[in-house]
Amino acid sequence: MKKILVLHTGGTIAMQENEQGAIQPNVINPLYSTIESLSSIASVIVDDYLNIPSPHMTPSLMVDLAERLKERAKTDHLDGIVVTHGTDTLEETAYLLDLLLDWDIPVVITGAMRSSNELGADGPHNLISAVRVAASDSACEKGVLVVLNDEIHTAKNVTKTHSSNIATFQSPQYGPIGIVTKRGVFFHHTLSVRECHPVKSLTKKVALLKTYAGMDHTIIEAVAKTKIDGLVIEAFGQGNVPPLVMNALTKLINANIPVVLVSRCFNGVVQDTYAYEGGGRSLKEQGVIFTNGLNGQKARLKLMVVLEQTTDRTTLQEWFYK
């Protein structure tokens, strides 16, 4: 029987709704009754590591979590890991763990959209599905996975798409890489490229801004005054920005502050297609770094990670187009 660590960090999956309808953290983890029922699936050990709402999660805590998982995997000789997490920042924690963990054992992140005492609570079922995936041989060598609503997603592509629906986690453009059924765990495709960076701390300050109609230089200049080390811009469409921000972006690049471009669309990639002022081609010529389908919040985390290793623009462009 596989040895699986279930590590808790908090979130709605560990919360309860009070008589006034407010959902709040619970002192006693309500998942313990579900964990007791997992003995037929795996030999489960529990780590009540954190009990925080996911908006309280930070990149520093994510790095600490990665170090905790490395420690537990080594000392407990684990076959797989499940991390329970709040859904608001779940995709960010999953993706950062995927960048930091260089191993082949399954790491599965799960959560819930309904607290433990709400009708139709999805936490117990998601936990069971996550443990089944973590105990599956076919989940090895696939990086960090996200399992909710009986779907298996990659940390790189999954995102939260709905504020309250239990089917909120989707992988736009790519879809889930597998499913969980009563009969088993089934994968039908996988990532073609995985990457890992040997980083144990994050010290760089990276900002994230979304473009909007009429945006000008003032917001970028204001953010630049906070002494950022990098900037991620969520651009229009295929990678275009209002012309009034171009000078501010050029000043950042000339100051050796990387500017990374993603699309505010949740499908497609940015490309140097349009040659007008603010178009993708003009941005590429100015030295803006293009990504290959990452969303803004994940591009920010990746820039924080890679800036710990290099500020060379050519190397950064190569890493961001993986």
Q: Token pair of 317, please?
A: 């462009």
Distance of CA 270 to the CA centre of its chain: 19
Of 218, 275, 273, 289, nearest in space to 247 by CA: 218
φ, ψ of residue 93 in degrees (nearest 5): -60, -45
Residue 55, classed as helix, strand or coil, is helix
| Residue 215: closest CA among 260, 238, 247 | 247
Alpha helices (H) in the chain, listed in sequence order: 32-36, 59-76, 90-100, 123-134, 217-224, 246-254, 280-286, 296-306, 313-320
Yes or no: say if 110 and 144 are a contact pair by the CB < 8 Å rule: no
**Beta bridge partner(s), residue 232:** 208, 260
Give φ, ψ of 37 to 5 degrees: -85, 0
**CB contact at 8 A, 123 and 112:** yes
Give the Cα separation of 227 and 257 in Å (integer).
Answer: 10
Q: What's the maximum distance between 2 C-alpha atoms anywhere in the chain?
A: 62
**Residue 154's beta-bridge partner residues?**
145
User: Looking at 12, 154, 159, 291, which residue is catalytic?
Assistant: 12
Is 12 a known active-site residue? yes
Angle at 300 between CA 299 and CA 303, to 5 degrees: 85
Q: In what order do the strands lie in the sheet with 289-290?
A: 206-210, 230-235, 259-263, 289-290
Catalytic site positions: 12
